Amino acid sequence: MSEQLEHVKCLIIGSGPAGYTAAIYAARADLKPVLYTGMLAGGQLTQTTEVENYPGYPEGILGPEMMQNFEKQASRLGTDIRFGYVSSVDFASLPHKVVVDESKTILADTVIISTGASAKWLGLESEQKYNGFGVSACAVCDGFFFRGQDVAIVGAGDTAAEEATYLAKLCRKVYMIVRRDEFRASKAMVHRVLNTPNIEVLYNTETKEILGDGQTVNAVKVINNQTNEETKLDVTGFFVAIGHHPNTEIFRGWIDMDPTGYIITKPDSSETNIEGVFACGDAQDHIYRQAITAAGSGCMAAIDAERYLAAKEHVVTA
């Protein structure tokens, strides 16, 4: 017996601010969108605590609660939200073939990719224990909560250097933990770090453990990898800035990407190199990576998908 294929106008792969915003706009355009959440429904924001930099929440809001609101709004407007993950795609012809949970095949006239990105972590057990309670992978998101305090940041690239100087404007002291005896960042960014008085760079240093009281961070144990000398840094915040990796592996070979896996979209557009496939959010944004920019690009993707379908219908009926 052959498999029953489901045909949809608009399939959204991934949740989070980008996916849910795309769903809201697609639903209001009567595209009857189907959204598969992925294994982490709501995306990275469900792993954060307070969100204070998203407009419309004067008192701030918890990340998980915010994503529940996004989901409720998308659902109320008519999005078919399903828990599941996309295991493979075939973009060779229209409609596009998408396999969900390695078992169900969906034919989609348009596909919106909003699979996001994941922060790279050091791999410490204590890092995950205090994630959202003093440990963060986004200084712009969470630095405000540590104003006037001492913090540490690990990383040696441009992002780490930029986030260290950002934190230095808010915090009393910033320890920058660099594994080697030099930065990977550009000379301009290194110059900025070295000329910021309240940043102390610890070269040849690695993080051994993040210490806390069971609720919040209160210190970090580091080791000099040349002398083996251990030091305890009295900090209340620990920022990991060793990079992100986009969740785009299943699209490799179909969608054009940069060397690190971020999807390349056409200028001023969410269009990819494949007709009828659009990308938004952190899967294609390695620069800003904010909830508000992800939501904005989700809006763009839905509008682009709606215009693409409208143009095709016009051609067919003309």
Cβ atoms of residues 301 and 292 within 8 Å? no
**103-137: burial string, b at 16+ Cβ within 10 Å, e else:** ebebebbbbbbbbbbbbeebebebbeebbbebbbb
Report how far residue 24's alpha carbon sits from residue 110's, in angstroms, rounded to the nearest whole number.
15
Distance, CA of 65 to CA of 169 (rounded, Å): 29
Residue 43 and residue 16 in contact, taking contact as beta carbons nearer than 8 Å: yes
Residues taking part in catalysis: 138, 141-142
Q: Which amino acid is at 79?
A: T
In the structure encoding, which two tokens stand for residue 58, read together?
């004067």
- Give me the amino acid identity at 251: F
97: nearest Cα among 246, 248, 251? 251
Distance CA 196, CA 192 (A): 6
